[in-house]
Structure 1
Amino acid sequence: MQKGNPDTYAAALLAKIKAEKQQLIADGKLKQEKPLPDIDFLSLYELPHNWQWTKLGAIVESLRYGTSQKCSYSKNGFPVLRIPNLKNGVIYKSDLKYTLMSDLEIEGYSLQNGDILMIRSNGSKSLVGRTSIVSSDCEGYAYAGYLVRLRFIENLLISRFLYLVLESKFVRDQIEIPVRTTTGVKNINSTEILNLIIPLPPLAEQQAIVEKVDYLMKIVDQLEEQIKHRKKLAEDLMQTVLREAFE
């Protein structure tokens, strides 16, 4: 392992992300960020030596709320992703609405492959903060006001890994516990999102974790299919036994 290598050391990865963001700020493509509060490391568990605790705001290139323009099913203008289009990390395009936007709005709200959309406001605390990854077939789509777009430095973070972290119990507790006693609509604002604490492994380990989780999820899917098949066989067998008993 080389300590200056983002593939093997998270500290080097964070330093590279910081340098890239500073360059974007210098080029006028990003606004200067407010400093993030320090992390209370005493309240956190120990990570592998080449991992790093960080806040989401330290690795996000930009965060933006969705458009407030009215949408309709009239297929006139740009497709707009809404809360019903986000489910289990995937974006579904079966219930799209559309809106008209100016050139400036198109530039600001157009999604890119690898962006993460987060639900920022909902009546159910279990849906607040839920995320889905934008795939290449949704590039150029806009997104509605109850969603927030998280964009990351290209090739320095793996969106699929970040999705898994944001769906973990550790992060979900950070989101759900503060809104547990809130009545009515529950919200998470940009400051709260940027201050979410996450464990960050180096790039190579992010990829390894994603591959392992995806492999295990395929096994789970196969087992579920087997259970459904055996349940169907059992039901068919029961119907056969009952039919023979009454004939």
Structure 2
Amino acid sequence: MRGELGAVGYPTVPLKHVLSKVETGWSPVCEPRLPAFDEWGVLKLSAVTSGTFIASEAKAFPRQLAPRPAYEVKAGDVLMSRANGVKALVGVACAVRDVRPRLLLPDLVFRLVPDPSVLNSDFLAIALASLGMRGQIDAVMRGTSGQYKISQADVRKLEVPRVPLREQRRIVAAHAAFERRIAGLQGVLRKLRVAEDALVLNALDKERVSRWERVRLDSVASVAAGVTLGSEPVGDGTVELPYLRVANVLDGRIDITDVKTVRIIRSSYERFALRKGDLLLTEGGDLDKLGRGAVWDGRLEECLHQNHVFRVRCGEHMSPDFLALYTSSAQGRSYFQSVGKQTTNLASINSTQVKQMQVPVPPREEQESMLRPIQSIRDRQLSMERQIAKLRTVQQGVVEDLLSGAVHLPVA
């Protein structure tokens, strides 16, 4: 591929010809805390996998060992994740601009040091996120049992567009202009989330909650487990339908990006079916995530839920949105953590414990009154998130055109 031209674009060159070096780091068993500023620390994989360098994602270096300063991360490095249980996070890269001293490179991360005479580090990070280079990374990735990885040899062979250094800097500047606009919107989004938290705290103020009648959850809602996966029925009278599993039920929202299907007997549909307004709560996970959930908005006309997701269907005295507000509050989380069964790796709750949960039941009109300003803030957040997603799409398209040479920026 080296030296080839696209329909419009720049020739490409293997990374090994434009890098000073590629290396991995070292991951001793660290202390489970952040390093103080004057201490050595080791970066965690999460410092890289967002695509943005996050220096705070680090652990304190063990005091009984001597650090290896050769692995200290420096401004100008490009870091790339070399292994992960999620394919999409293997090969994710970011440029290091400002970094505190005494942070070491871990062994699950590559350090790519560009030759500054031909390759800008910020440009390299942008290029590695492009569709063309992402496709190359996916093609050479290897993995079994949920652990995927790429090798140093794979990285050295990746083909990067050979763009003149001056043009690289202009592409970096264009990318940064989008980042500044997106950062501004993200700042507004953070303020809206703070405002939402304040409204929720006010709505569920302890003094206010103490005035409301408290009842068992199963007296104001029905609680049901979903379909159990395993041997599926076949033949006449069966139907294949989408279902929501724990991975789809997040804290405050339902993610249908990846929805699987299951075959059931058609006559059992109503037993497992979801309706718009059902509150979904997860059965297991980390102790602090027990009972996380969201209200189903009916985006899929026919949809089921798995047995590890509880369906809570409210009666006339309880708004599902108010109940979701309470189950996700500090009081609600405290209940789930107090009754959850803890094993080595996971915690879980059962349907009986969900049914026995004591919940406040203010008058329905009061529930709706409290929810209105909260929903208004959430609608604004959703609008802001859509604006950010649209900007990201435009940014990606512009960068792809610039990297291909289909578009050139005017010379200042």
Q: Does 1:82 align with 2:222?
A: no
Task: Supply the AA of the counterpart residue of 2:249.
Answer: L
Q: Does 1:205 align with 2:366?
A: yes
- Tell me the equivalent position of 2:319: 158
Preserved contact between residue 290 and residue 340 of structure 2 (Cα < 8 Å): no
> Over aligned residue pairs, what C-alpha RMSD do you find?
3.1
Give the C-alpha shift of residue 135 in structure 1. Answer: 1.1
- Tell me the equivalent position of 1:37: none
What do residues 143-164 of structure 1 show as CA deviations (whole Å, max 9, x unaligned)?
11211111122x4422111111
What do residues 17-66 of structure 1 show as CA deviations (whole Å, max 9, x unaligned)?
xxxxxxxxxxxxxxxxxxxxxxxxxxxx6547973122212111x21111
- Tell me the equivalent position of 2:297: 135
Give the TM-score normalised by the residue count of structure 1: 0.62
Give the C-alpha shift of residue 173 in structure 1. Answer: 0.4
Q: Does 1:187 align with 2:348?
A: yes
Give the one of 221, 225, 230 matched to 1:65.
225
State the SS of the aligned residue for 2:299.
Answer: helix
State the SS of the aligned residue for 1:89.
Answer: coil
Q: Do the aligned partners of residues 149 and 221 (structure 1) sit closer, same or farther apart at CA in structure 2, a change above 3 Å counting?
A: closer
Preserved contact between residue 82 and residue 143 of structure 1 (Cα < 8 Å): yes
Q: 1:182 and 1:48 mapped to 2: Cα distance?
A: 33
- Tell me the equivalent position of 1:114: 277
Q: 2:384 and 2:299 mapped to 1: Cα distance?
A: 30
Task: Supply the AA of the counterpart residue of 2:292.
Answer: R
**Unaligned 5+ residue runs, structure 1?**
1-44, 226-247
Q: 1:191 and 1:65 mapped to 2: Cα distance?
A: 11
Q: 1:164 and 1:211 mapped to 2: Cα distance?
A: 12
Q: Do the aligned partners of residues 222 and 156 (structure 1) sit closer, same or farther apart at CA in structure 2, a change above 3 Å counting?
A: same
Task: Supply the AA of the counterpart residue of 1:160.
Answer: D
Q: 1:63 and 1:48 mapped to 2: Cα distance?
A: 23
Q: 1:71 and 1:128 mapped to 2: Cα distance?
A: 28
Structure with bigger gyration radius = 2
- Tell me the equivalent position of 1:175: 336
Structure with the larger RCO, 1 or 2 (CA within 8 Å, 6+ apart): 1
Preserved contact between residue 114 and residue 151 of structure 1 (Cα < 8 Å): yes
- Tell me the equivalent position of 1:31: none
Q: 1:151 and 1:133 mapped to 2: Cα distance?
A: 10
**After superposition, where does 1:7-86 map in structure 2 within 5 Å?**
47=208, 51-60=212-221, 62-70=222-230, 77-86=240-249
Give the C-alpha shift of residue 71 in structure 1. Answer: 9.6
Q: Do the aligned partners of residues 218 and 97 (structure 1) sit closer, same or farther apart at CA in structure 2, a change above 3 Å counting?
A: closer
- Tell me the equivalent position of 1:99: 262
- Tell me the equivalent position of 1:239: none
Preserved contact between residue 342 and residue 348 of structure 2 (Cα < 8 Å): no
- Tell me the equivalent position of 1:147: 309
Give the TM-score normalised by the residue count of structure 2: 0.38
Give the C-alpha shift of residue 79 in structure 1. Answer: 0.3
Give the C-alpha shift of residue 132 in structure 1. Answer: 1.4
What do residues 63-111 of structure 1 show as CA deviations (whole Å, max 9, x unaligned)?
1111112499xxx810011111112322221101011110232121111
* Structure 1 consecutive aligned stretches of length 4 or more whose deviation exceeds 4 Å: 45-50, 216-225
Q: Does 1:126 align with 2:285?
A: no
Preserved contact between residue 278 and residue 320 of structure 2 (Cα < 8 Å): yes
